[in-house]
Amino acid sequence: MSLRPLATPAPIGGPKGCGGSAARGNDGREMSAGSRVQAIGAAAREKGRAALGRGLELSNRLRLPGPSVLPVAGAVVGLYAGLAAGLFANLIGLVSGLCFGFPHLVTTLRAPDLAFSKLQAAVAAARWHPEYAVAGVPVALAALVLARVIEPGGPRDEVKKRLRILALLVMGALSLYYPLVAAAALNTAYGTHHIRLSLEEMPFWAVLLAPAAGGVLVGRMLRNHPETHGHGVPEVVVAVRTQGGGLQAEGGALKLVASSVTIGTGGSAGREGPIVYGGAAFASWVARTLGFSRKELAILMASGAGAGIAASFNAPIAGAMFAMEIILREFELKVFSPIILASVTATMVGRGVMGSAPMLERIGYEMVSGWEILAYALLGLLCGLLAYAFVRFLHHAEGFFAGRFPGRLSAFLGRRPVSIRAGIGGLAVGLLALLNGSVWGTGHDFVNLAHARQLALGFLVVGAISKLVATGITIGSGGSGGTFFPAAVFGALAGGAFGEVLHRALPHVTAASGAYAMVGMGGAVAGLNRGPLTGMMLVYELSGNYSVILPLMVTCTIASALCHVLVERKSGRVRTDADILRETPIRELMVAAPVLTEELPLREVADRLLGQGQVALPVSGRGGRIEGVVEIEELQVVWRDPALTAVLRATDVVHPLQVLSADSDLAHGLELMDREDVDAVPVSDPATGAVGLLTRSAIRRFLFRQRAKTHAAGDHAVAATEVSR
C-alpha cells in the first residue's frame, strides 16, 4: 500500500492576485493588493480627519485664565529683563568707551592681526546657546498655529490673543538675543574693562568734567519726563501696592538710556535700579495687553523687577527674594511660579550676554571663633547706621538741589533747570572721584579689591564715605541710576575697614578683613532696602561661600531692623497713602449717578453710560434695592454680537456688589474694588438715601492731590528710597 502526499489546498481566491494574496471586499468580490492598500489609506485618512476634528473641537474648548497664563508670562518677562540687563551693560560700556576708550581702541585697530585675533577669541568665547532657538521657535510656531485654528468668537478671542502675544514675544526675544550676544563680543574685544587702570591714565580734567557733562546730558534727556528721575525701586513699589495702571514701558526704556549715560560718564549709581524699573514697566505692558487682573498685574510687575536683579547680579535666588520681600511683600504659593520662572529665564539670558563669571572672587573665608558673632553684630549696627545716613543724605541732597533748603545756594539751584543742577552735581562727583576712585561709576572693581584685602585702611574709610556722598549727590541732583549696588560698595568698604581694625586688634579670634567686607556688603543692602533675606541671598550667591551664612544672617537682620527703626522714628509724622484712605470717608469722593433698572435694554444702558461719562452705573432690582453696577468693560464683551445686544437687559450684565455706606472709609471701598476686580462700587448715603458711585480713578486723583500738597509743603517722606511698610 503506497502513501500519497496530501494535496495542498488552493489559496483563497484561486490563482489570481500577487502570490495568492488577494482578498474579498464587502460585496464578496475579490480585492487586489493595490486596492487593499488604497482602502487602508482611505481608512487612515478618515481616522486622521476624525482625530483632527476632535483636536479642533478640543482646541475650541481651550481656556487660558489669568492664573494659568501667569507663570508663562513671568518666564517671557524674564527673557526681556535679561535682554535689558545685557543691553544696559553694553550701553554703559559703549558710553564709557566713547568717552575714555579711544586710545585703547585706536591702539588695537592699528594692529589688524591683533584686532582680528581679539574679535575671533571673543566670538569663540561668546555663549550663543543655539538650543534656545531650537527649543523656542517650534513652541512659538505651534502656539501661533493653534491661535490660527481656534475659531473666533466669545471667550475664544481671549485665548487666541494670549497665545498670539506670548508666541510673538518669544520670537522677538530670540531675534534680539543673538545680535546682543554679538554686540557683547565686540565690547569684550575692543572695550575697556579696567576702571581702576583707566582712572589712573585719565587726565584730572577728564575725571572732573566727564560726570558734569553726563549730568547735563541726562538732565536734558529727562527734562520732560520727571517720573523717570531717581533710582526706580520706590516707583515700582508704589505701582505694585496701588495695583493701578502700572508703569509705562517707554519710561523704562528712557531710564535705561539715561542711566547708561550717568554711569558711563562716571556718575556714582548702580545698574539695578533702572533694570528693576524697566523690567516692571515691560511686565506692566504685558499684563495689560494680556488682559490680566490688577492682582495678576502686581505679581507680574514684581516678577519683572526681581528678574532685573537676577540678571544684573547673576543671582536668581536673590532676585526672587527681592521680588517677594521688597516689591510684592508676599510669600504665598501662588506668586512663586511666575517670580521664580522670571528669575531663571532672566539669569539664563543674562549669562549668555554678560557671561557667567562670578562677580566676587571665590575666597574661602570662614568664622575663626564663636566670638566673631559679636563682631558681626557690631558690623550690623554699623551697616544699619550707614544705610540710614545714606537715606537721610539722599533726602537732603534732593531737597537742596530742588531749592527747599534755606540759603542762597539752594535757592539758586532750585531756580535752575534740571540739566544745570545735574551738571553741578556731576562736577561735585568728579571732585570726589579725584579723592577716591571708588566713587567712579558702579564701583564694582573696588568691591573685589576690598574682598581680596588689596586696599589700605585709609582708602577703605575714605572710600565708604565718598561713595555714600557721591551717590546721594548724583541722584539727588537729577542723575539717573540705582542705589542698590552703591550701597553694596560702601557697605563692603566700611566692612573691610571695620574688619581691618578688628583683625589688627584681635588677630587670633577674627577672620581677615575680606570676610567683613563681604558681609558688610550684604548688611548695607539689607539696611537700605529693609530686606534681610535679599541681602543674605545676594552675598551668598555672589560669594558662593556657605561658611558666611551665619554672619550674614546676624549682620543683615540687625542692619535691616536698625535702619527700619530709625527711618520710622523720623518719618512717623508723615501720613502714608494707607493712613489717608483710612481717615477719609467715602462721602468726600462720592459722586451722584442715575440708577438703572434691571429690565433696561442693553442699548439704553450703553447710551446712559456714555451720556453720563462714567465707567459704571448702579443697577436696582426689585423693590429698588441696589444689586450692583454695570461697567463699560462688561458691555465691550457682548457688544460685538448684535443678536445678544437685542435681547440682553441690564440684569444680564450687572456685576453683583455690596452697597457701601457713605460713612465708610476709602480704604474699605478700595479693598472691595480690588477683591471684586471692578473700577467702581455703589454707595448709599444713610442720611439722605441718595445713591452714588465711588470710582477707582477718583481715589487715584485724590491721592495725587494729597501727595502734591505734601511735597509742596516740604513734608514728604524721609527719602525717595523709603516707601512706608
Strands 691-695 and 660-661: unpaired
Are 545 and 362 within 8 A, CB to CB?
yes
Residue with cell 558690623: 379
Cα 618 versus chain centre, distance: 37
Predicted confidence (pLDDT) per residue in 139-164, tens digit: 999 999 888 887 777 677 788 888 89
Contacts of 632 by beta carbon, 8 Å cutoff, 6+ apart = 609, 615, 616
Predicted confidence (pLDDT) per residue in 467-478, tens digit: 999 999 999 898
Residue 193: its pLDDT value, please?
A: 57
CA–CA dist 507, 511 (Å, integer):
7
CA distances from 41 to 34, 36, 50, 55, 236 (A): 11, 9, 14, 20, 61
- How many other CB atoms sit within 10 Å of the CB of residue 27? 6
Strands 660-661 and 23-24: unpaired
Are 615 and 632 within 8 A, CB to CB?
yes
The full set of domain ranges for the chain reads 32-60, 66-354, 372-415+431-571, 582-709
Predicted confidence (pLDDT) per residue in 202-211, tens digit: 788 888 899 9
Predicted confidence (pLDDT) per residue in 439-482, tens digit: 988 888 899 899 889 999 999 999 999 999 999 999 989 888 88
User: What value, to the nearest 5°, has the Cα angle with vertex 457 and ends 452 and 462?
Assistant: 110
Are 327 and 310 within 8 A, CB to CB?
no
Residue 268: its pLDDT value, please?
A: 92
Find, among 380, 385, 397, the residue nearest to 469 by Cα: 397
Cα 394 versus chain centre, distance: 24
Q: Which amino acid, 501? A: V
CA–CA dist 683, 695 (Å, integer):
10
CA distances from 511 to 239, 365, 453, 558 (A): 43, 7, 12, 20
Predicted confidence (pLDDT) per residue in 715-725, tens digit: 444 333 444 33
10 Å CB burial of residue 157 (0-12, 13-18, 19+) is: middle
Residue 104: its pLDDT value, please?
A: 67
Return the bridge partners of 116, or none: none
Give the CATH superfamily of 582-709: CBS-domain (3.10.580.10)
Grid coordinates given for 324: 517677594
Overall pTM surpassing 0.85 (yes/no): no
CA–CA dist 692, 550 (Å, integer):
58
- How many other CB atoms sit within 10 Å of the CB of residue 208? 19
For the chain, 725 residues long, the average pLDDT of each consecutive 10-residue run is 44 45 49 71 72 61 74 94 91 81 68 79 86 93 87 76 92 94 84 63 84 91 70 78 64 83 90 87 90 87 93 92 89 88 95 84 83 94 96 91 86 88 93 91 89 92 96 90 91 96 91 93 94 92 87 95 84 66 88 84 80 81 83 70 71 84 88 86 86 87 76 45 42
CATH (residue range 372-415+431-571): 1.10.3080.10
The DSSP letter of residue 723 is -
Contacts of 530 by beta carbon, 8 Å cutoff, 6+ apart = 326, 560, 563, 564, 567, 725
Return the bridge partners of 680, or none: 695
The DSSP letter of residue 714 is T
